[in-house]
Structures are given as C-alpha cells and as structure tokens.
C-alpha cells in the first residue's frame, strides 16, 4: 500500500566557520597582537507550516535539506558571515519525528507556525579570542562546530473541520466530490479510497475543509484492516458526517459498527457532533422509503439525519448547511494555544554536546581501538584545528583535565594503541612532555599531503596523551 501522507527526509544544519590565526602587522606597531577573527555560525534548519502545500508527496523528490555553513574568520578580527538558515515548508498538520528515536520534535498545525528544528553549528574562535595575560600571542584557533544532521519522519495529520465517515462503499467519496472541489477516487467496490482526500467547501463566505476518511471497518480500532492508520485522521476533525447506504440490508448495524469503532479508538472522538447522511435514496423506491423510516428512528434518538443522494445532489445543500451550523456552534480553535501546548509536550532540540561536561564520557574498547564516547569531548576534538601546535597542546591538556588520559591508562591503553574520539583517530603515547608532543605533532604535519586540511578526515592519526 502506498501512502502519500508520510515522508522521510534528511536535514543538516550548517557547519560553523573556522576561526583564524592572524597577527596585527602595522607600521609603528612593534609587536602586533592576535588579530584572527571568529568563524560565523552555521545556518539553522527551520520548519514552517504553509497552507499552500497540502501533501508530503513533494518530499519524495527532494530528500536532502541543508543549511549554509558559516564563513571562516578573517584577519583584522573579521568575523565570518553567518550561514543562511534553511526553511522547509510543510503542509499544516505535519508531525515531525526524529526517525532514530521516534521522538516528536515538532507539530506544525497552524499556517505560519515556524520552528527551529536544528540549531546551526557554532563558529570556531580565532586567535584573538584566545589571548590571555599569560599568552599574548596565541597561535591557536578552532574549527567550527559541525552542524547536526538528522533523518526526520513526517506524518500529515489532516487539519480538516469535518470528517466523512462510514462503511466502505457507503458513498463518502461521492459526497466529498459533490460538496467540494476535490476529485476523489470513486468506484463500486470497498476500499477505493486508501488515502484521505480533502475538499474545501465554501459556504456563506466561510471555508470548511471536509476529509473523506477511508476504510473504516469493524476491528479497525485494533489495527485490523486499513482502518487504524486513518482513524488517526479523524482525531483533529471537529464535526463528523456519517454516511449510510440505504440500499444496504443492515443500515443500523453498519451505523452501530462504525460508532463502536470510533468509540473504541478514542472516546473523545466519539463525543464530536455527528450529522447523519442517509445516502443513495435515488437508487430505488425501497431505498427512498427506507431512508424516511431511518430518519424517524434517528429523530427518536435525537439525531439529525438528512435524506440525500450524493450522486444526483439532492439534499446535499441542506446537509452542508446543517454541518456549518454544527461547526459554528463550537468554540473557535485557538491555534496559538495549540502550538504552545504542542511545544510544551516535547523537549527542545539541543546540540548533542550542550549541557554536557568534558568529563561525561565512557571508554569502550574492542580489538581495533579504545573508543572515548562523550558528546562534549567529541565536539571538542571535532573543533580542534590540528594545524597549530598550540591546539594540539590544548588537546593534550583537555585529555588530562577531563580524566580521559587517566581512564585510558587504567583501561590498559599502551604505546601506539589506537584511540578513537568521534570521527578522529589517534595513536596513544604515555610520553606527554612538550618536546615529545611537539615531535609527534610535527611528524604528522610533515606526513600530511600538501594542500590538504584535516577537516573531515577520518583517519589522520596523531600521537597524544
């Protein structure tokens, strides 16, 4: 079964720009201070609900969505430019989940609702930012933080005011086509409609959105048949139009079956105002007579039932008028409150390393290497620019301060063992005197092919420790 109301896409925030190492060189300034600017921040990924879009089908063609990286810092303390944000437009009613964890990260209900999904990577600091009383001429700068990437799953929950429900073949799609501009699939066998159709109905200068809810049948609330998927769509409608086929032998049984399903699925949905359409009265004399009897029966229950023919349109205008009256009687939807409530229901998307300490890590080893796993230490390593010896020394310092060095030594890491932190791999050495550090840094720099940078290289080993 193909379903067009879900999609899976890849989003990535922009990487932060690299910080620069530069020194002031001006006539009459004898000892120029550090003058390297910070990198700009990467662009963020935003989602925005737009009523001009009514399905997720377009995301089949466009799967990857990336925000712009930040610019690198320049000399004269020039800050790199911030990367442009990327906004992904989705139809109102889209629920966005982290596809790995299943966690809901945004609910895009009202038109215009805009939300940041992933923050951009932070710009790396240039050497001007590293100046201290002790080190007046730092030769150190950071890489920008990598922008987070994520696969997200989107599901379109219809935002329809009116849900058309009924057993298969009752005439739901025919009714939707009759009242609105929609062109649903209509055929003389059950389950023609497997994707909910939406139709916009204009009445008295007001707009109502009708949804043709397909495939409701007994057992649907337990996930049997097609029903369960679509029952979810009924949730957000405000009024139900229940279509009955008067040519059927057991109209009342069918009515009860659907009511039971809805009630089992969600009692709250069962509480929504319901209007009954006694359909197909044009089909035969019997159907017309039966319709009038049924109308009486419903009246006894206090239910407003309309005799209609979705096919030739008789009674349909009155049905729409009654539907509008039922809608108008309900309190208006407070979309802003809904958006606030939705936001309160979930946590904010934070950078993985935010709020984490460098000392929050664990050591995992296998025959290949010792892995140091911790969001903050991984970010630190990723942002280290190995081109500068001072960065390398700072790295060695951080390994000591955070307790990583001690943990690796206790775990049995020995001379020449492989250490992996995030995407970077190192060779372990217990000798961490400055001279030894410098030798190993220099050896690796010389080894590096000319013209390459270390950015993004997975296996550029360094001695450290």
Among the residue ranges 98-106, 183-191, 338-346, 355-363, the one whose residues contact ligand GTP (CB under 6 A): 183-191
The SS3 assignment for 203 reads strand
Identify the bridge partners of residue 156 per DSSP, sorted by sequence position. Answer: 94
Among 17, 166, 196, 465, which residue interacts with ligand GTP (rule: CB under 6 A)?
A: 166
Query: Using CB distances below 5 to 8 A depending on partner kind, what does residue 144 bind out of ligand GTP, Mg ion, none?
Result: none
Site residues (CB under 6 A) for ligand GTP, limited to 38-77: none
DSSP string, 300-356: HTT--EEE--TTT-TTHHHHHHHHHHHHHTSPPP-HHHHHHHHHHHSPPP--TTTT-
Query: Using CB distances below 5 to 8 A depending on partner kind, what does residue 333 bind out of ligand GTP, Mg ion, none?
Result: none
Q: And the tokens for 193?
A: 């409609």
**Residue 319, phi then psi, degrees to nearest 5:** -65, -45
Among 87, 94, 127, 173, which residue interacts with Mg ion (rule: CB under 5 A)?
A: 173
Per-residue contact string for residues 295-314; x = within reach of ligand GTP by CB under 6 A: --------------xxx---
Place of tokens 């190492």: 21
Let me know: does 216 contact 230? Beta carbons within 8 Å: yes
First and final C-alpha spacing in the chain: 56
Is 324 near ligand GTP (CB under 6 A)?
A: no
CB-wise, 182 or 404, nearer to Mg ion?
182
Query: Using CB distances below 5 to 8 A depending on partner kind, what does residue 282 bind out of Mg ion, ligand GTP, none?
Result: ligand GTP
Place of tokens 């995030």: 422
Is 173 near ligand GTP (CB under 6 A)?
A: yes
CB 178 → ligand GTP: shortest distance, Å?
A: 8
Per-residue contact string for residues 191-220; x = within reach of ligand GTP by CB under 6 A: xxx--------------------xx-----
Angstrom distance (rounded) from CA 438 to CA 436: 5
Angstrom distance (rounded) from CA 462 to CA 392: 9
CB 249 → ligand GTP: shortest distance, Å?
A: 16
Angstrom distance (rounded) from CA 26 to CA 35: 12
CB-wise, 44 or 198, nearer to ligand GTP?
198
The SS3 assignment for 102 reads coil
Among 75, 190, 403, 461, which residue interacts with ligand GTP (rule: CB under 6 A)?
A: 190
Q: Which residues are near ligand GTP by CB under 6 A?
A: 166, 168-174, 186-188, 190-193, 214-215, 279-280, 282-283, 309-311
Q: Which residues are near Mg ion by CB under 5 A?
A: 172-173, 192-193
């Amino acid at each position: 079964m193909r379903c067009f109301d879900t999609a899976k896409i890849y989003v990535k925030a922009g990487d932060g720009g690299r910080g620069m190492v530069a020194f002031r060189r001006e006539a009459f300034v004898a000892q120029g201070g550090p003058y390297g600017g910070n990198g700009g921040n990467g662009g963020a990924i935003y989602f925005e609900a737009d009523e001009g879009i009514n399905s997720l089908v377009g995301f089949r063609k466009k799967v990857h969505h990336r925000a712009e990286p930040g610019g690198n810092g320049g000399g004269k303390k020039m800050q790199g430019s911030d990367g442009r944000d990327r906004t992904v437009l989705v139809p109102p009613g889209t629920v966005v989940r982290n596809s790995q964890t299943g966690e809901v990260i945004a609910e895009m209900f009202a038109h215009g609702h805009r939300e940041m999904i992933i923050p951009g990577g932070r710009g790396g600091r240039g050497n001007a930012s590293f100046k201290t009383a002790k080190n007046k001429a730092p030769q150190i700068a950071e890489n920008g933080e990598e922008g987070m990437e994520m696969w997200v799953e989107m599901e379109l929950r219809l935002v329809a005011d009116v849900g058309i429900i009924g057993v298969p073949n009752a005439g739901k799609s025919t009714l939707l086509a009759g009242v609105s501009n929609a062109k649903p699939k209509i055929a003389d066998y059950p389950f023609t409609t497997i994707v909910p159709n939406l139709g916009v109905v204009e009445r008295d200068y007001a707009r109502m959105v009708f949804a043709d809810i397909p495939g409701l049948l007994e057992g649907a609330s337990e996930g049997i048949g097609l029903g369960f998927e679509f029952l979810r769509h009924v949730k957000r409608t405000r009024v139900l139009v229940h279509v009955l086929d008067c040519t059927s032998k057991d109209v009342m049984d069918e009515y009860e079956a659907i009511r039971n399903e809805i009630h089992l699925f969600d009692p709250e949905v069962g509480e929504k105002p319901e209007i009954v359409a006694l359909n197909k009265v044009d089909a035969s004399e019997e159907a017309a007579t039966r319709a009038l009897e049924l109308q009486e029966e419903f009246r006894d229950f206090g239910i407003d039932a309309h005799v209609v023919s979705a096919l030739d349109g008789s009674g349909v205008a009155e049905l729409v008028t009654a539907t509008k009256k039922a809608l108008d009687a309900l309190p208006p939807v407070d979309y802003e409150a809904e958006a606030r409530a939705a936001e309160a229901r979930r946590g904010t998307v934070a950078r993985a390393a935010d709020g984490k300490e460098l000392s929050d890590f664990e050591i995992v080893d296998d025959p290949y290497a010792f892995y140091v796993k911790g969001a903050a230490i991984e970010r630190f390593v990723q942002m280290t620019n190995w081109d500068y010896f001072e960065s390398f020394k700072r790295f060695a310092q951080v390994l000591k301060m955070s307790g990583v060095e001690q943990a690796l030594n206790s775990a049995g890491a020995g001379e020449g063992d492989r250490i992996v932190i995030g995407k970077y791999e190192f060779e372990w050495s217990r000798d961490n005197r400055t001279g030894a550090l410098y030798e190993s840094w220099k050896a690796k720099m010389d080894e590096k092919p000319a013209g390459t940078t270390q950015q993004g290289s997975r296996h550029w080993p360094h001695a450290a420790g």
